[in-house]
Amino acid sequence: MNRNEKKTGMRLTINSSTDRLREVRDFVSDRARDAGFRDEVVHTIALCCDEACTNVIKHAYANAPDREIDIRIIPRRDEMEIVITHDGESFDPDTIKSPDMKEYLSHYRKGGLGLHLIRSLMDKVFYKQGNGSRYEVHLVKFHSSP
Amino acid sequence: MSTFKIEHRENNAINVLDLKGYLDAHTAPELEKTFQSLIDTNRFRIIVNCRDLTYISSAGLGVFMAYIEDVRRNQGDIKLSNMSPKVFNVFDLLGFPLLYEITPDEADAVKKFQETGKPPKAGK
């Protein structure tokens, strides 16, 4: 495998349709497994990428299915970083508070659970303005996390 | 190829939904449709058997939240059974066992319906 192929193997570009979510999960799971994460953590990472892509489709692209989402994996010695890039509407998840789940459930509230899951399960989550009008969601999992 | 399937059957006059495959933002509308059709036909005693459910994301959990109030207002309940540890962990992480009865086996869920039919209250 040459350098270029290897680089391509760490990147997946999909259109913004929910029928591509399984592909995202499979792609991220394979890379996480290759990086040495155990099964439970592989599932966690794939779930968080699914949630992040779902949020992009729903909120950044308002369910338009023909936009682009780029998923890039950066494996490092101590961690794996996943960068999800889109050029839709920016939304600042830092302004969204995680719900108090007891209160949430007792009032039968709906929605907003994806971000809560991501924050609970990943070791680092941050958002950055990318090139031009592109926005990046960064998810990081440490190899040392339980 | 569909990655999610729902089969509907009855067990002791209780509606059982057997879920199979992957429940995510793409497939959640199928489950919504099924719940809606049960409610539209006044069937409020529901067990969701998760034995063959491989995966669930928050979009799937959101479907249970969307219908539980309606179902309980009509003296029914949604109980869940036979979850794999992987699927249970997602429910557990979000505190859903506070609001939903989750039993190891379908038979336990049937028994609970026969005993009381009363759902647990969150936050109590």
Least Cα distance to A9 among A96, A75, A108 occurs for A75
Query: From CA B81, how far away is CA B76, in angstroms rounded?
Result: 16
pLDDT at A5: 33
Structural domain includes residue B102 = yes
Structural domain includes residue B120 = no
Please state the rounded mean pLDDT for residues A59-72: 96
* Chain B residues with beta carbon closer than 8 angstroms to that of A106: 99, 121-123
Q: Which of B58, B69, B121 has the CB atom closest to A114's CB atom?
A: B58
Please state the rounded mean pLDDT for residues A57-71: 96
* Chain B residues with beta carbon closer than 8 angstroms to that of A55: none
Output DSSP code: residue A143.
T
Nearest residue in chain B measured CA to CA from A109: B65
ipTM (interface pTM): 0.89
SS3 (DSSP) at A35: coil
Nearest residue in chain B measured CA to CA from A118: B58
* Chain B residues with beta carbon closer than 8 angstroms to that of A19: 26
With CB atoms and an 8 Å threshold, state whether B26 touches A101: no
Domain of residue B57 covers: 4-115
Kindly state the tokens that stand for B86.
């992987």
Query: From CA B24, how far away is CA B61, in angstroms rounded?
Result: 9
With CB atoms and an 8 Å threshold, state whether A40 touches B86: yes
**Edge-to-edge strands of the sheet including A135-142?**
A11-15, A68-75, A79-86, A135-142, A124-129
Q: What is the CATH number of the domain that holds A13?
A: 3.30.565.10
* Chain B residues with beta carbon closer than 8 angstroms to that of A58: 25
pLDDT at A110: 67
| A71 alpha-carbon distance from chain centroid | 8
With CB atoms and an 8 Å threshold, state whether A105 touches B123: yes
Q: Tally the domains of chain B.
A: 1
Structural domain includes residue B124 = no
| A37, A50 Cβ separation under 8 angstroms | no
Q: What is the CATH number of the domain that holds B68?
A: 3.30.750.24
Q: Which of B57, B66, B122 has the CB atom closest to A47's CB atom?
A: B57
Question: What are the respective helix, strand and coil percentages of chain A, to the nearest 5?
Answer: 45, 25, 35
> Is the pLDDT score of A1 beyond 70?
no
Structural domain includes residue B123 = no
With CB atoms and an 8 Å threshold, state whether A106 touches B3: no
pLDDT at A3: 38
Q: Tally the domains of chain A.
A: 1
> How confident is the prediction along chain B (124 residues), in pLDDT tens digits per residue?
579 999 999 999 999 999 999 999 999 999 999 999 999 999 999 999 999 999 999 999 999 999 999 999 999 999 999 999 999 999 999 999 999 999 999 999 999 999 875 555 554 4
Query: From CA B55, how far away is CA B102, in angstroms rounded?
Result: 16
With CB atoms and an 8 Å threshold, state whether A18 touches B24: yes
- The residues, any chain, with a CB within 8 Å of residue A61's CB and separated by 6 or more, are A16, A67, A86, A88, A89
Distance from CA of A40 to the nearest CA of B (A): 8
